[in-house]
C-alpha cells in the first residue's frame, strides 16, 4: 500500500484491463466501494483505471475555497447543484472523472432516482473546475521526461537505420 501511494504521488497508477474484461458502470462502482483505501479513482474512456494519491494539505485547503464559493453561489442561485472533488461522473465517452468542483443544472438531475444519485452520475457536469496540484506537476514532468526518452530512442533508432 505504501509503495503504491509513493508511486501514485508521482503519477496516477494505471491498471490496464484485458480486452473484453471491461467493467460495467455498476461493477466499476462496486470496485470503488470495495477499495475505499484507494481514495481517488478515475476511469479513462479506454477503460484503464487510474489510482491517484490524496491531495496535499495546501491543495485541499485551496480546493475547499473553490467548493465553498461555488456551493454558496449555487445555493443563492437555485438553478443547479454544486459538487465537491469526491463526486464521480460517468461521461458519455464512458470515462469516469472526478473534477475538483462541479455544477449541474437542476433540470438535468430531476430524472434520476434516489438510488441513481447514490452512484456516479451518468452525465458530464455543465461546469467543472480543476485545480492543478503538486502531484499533477510531477506527473507532467515525468510525462515530459518519458516523452523525451521516447523521442531520444526514436531518434537513435532513426540514426541506426541511417548507418
Partner 1 sequence: MEEYISNGALLGWLIEPFERQVFVYRPGQPTQQVERPASIDAGPELPRFVLDLTKIWEPEI
Determine the Cα–Cα distance for residues 89 and 96; give it in Å rounded to an integer: 5
Buried b (16+ CB within 10 A) or exposed e, 91-114: eeeebbbbbbbbbbeeeeeeeeee
Nearer to partner 1, 12 or 97 (CB): 97
Contact 74, 81 (CB under 8 A): yes
Q: Which chain residues interact with partner 1 by CB under 8 A?
A: 45, 57-58, 61-62, 65-66, 69-70, 73, 77, 91-93, 95, 97, 99, 103, 123-132, 137
Dump strand ranges (E) for 20-112: 40-43, 49-52, 80-83, 89-90, 96-97, 101-105
Nearer to partner 1, 143 or 156 (CB): 143
- For the bound state, the minimum distance from the C-beta of residue 34 to partner 1, rounded and expressed in Å, comes to 26
- For the bound state, the minimum distance from the C-beta of residue 37 to partner 1, rounded and expressed in Å, comes to 25
Tracing cell 483505501 back to the chain, one arrives at: 37
- For the bound state, the minimum distance from the C-beta of residue 38 to partner 1, rounded and expressed in Å, comes to 21
- For the bound state, the minimum distance from the C-beta of residue 65 to partner 1, rounded and expressed in Å, comes to 5
Nearer to partner 1, 68 or 149 (CB): 68
Give me 125's grid cell.
457536469
- For the bound state, the minimum distance from the C-beta of residue 57 to partner 1, rounded and expressed in Å, comes to 6
Short-list 149, 99, 152, CA closest to 125 = 99
Nearer to partner 1, 4 or 10 (CB): 10
Nearer to partner 1, 30 or 77 (CB): 77
Amino acid at each position: 500500500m505504501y509503495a503504491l501511494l509513493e508511486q501514485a504521488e508521482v503519477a496516477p497508477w494505471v491498471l490496464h484491463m484485458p480486452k473484453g474484461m471491461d467493467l460495467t458502470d455498476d461493477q466499476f462502482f462496486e470496485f470503488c466501494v470495495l477499495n475505499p483505501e484507494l481514495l481517488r479513482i478515475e476511469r479513462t474512456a479506454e477503460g484503464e483505471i487510474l489510482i491517484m494519491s490524496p491531495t496535499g494539505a495546501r491543495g485541499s485547503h485551496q480546493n475547499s475555497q473553490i467548493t465553498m464559493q461555488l456551493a454558496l453561489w449555487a445555493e443563492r442561485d437555485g438553478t443547479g447543484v454544486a459538487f465537491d472533488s469526491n463526486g464521480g461522473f460517468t461521461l458519455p465517452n464512458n470515462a469516469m472523472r472526478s473534477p475538483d468542483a462541479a455544477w449541474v443544472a437542476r433540470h438535468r438531475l430531476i430524472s434520476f432516482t434516489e438510488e441513481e444519485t447514490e452512484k456516479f452520475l451518468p452525465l458530464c457536469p455543465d461546469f467543472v473546475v480543476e485545480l492543478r496540484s503538486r502531484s499533477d506537476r510531477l506527473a507532467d514532468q515525468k510525462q515530459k521526461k518519458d516523452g523525451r526518452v521516447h523521442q531520444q530512442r526514436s531518434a537513435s533508432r532513426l540514426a541506426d537505420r541511417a548507418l
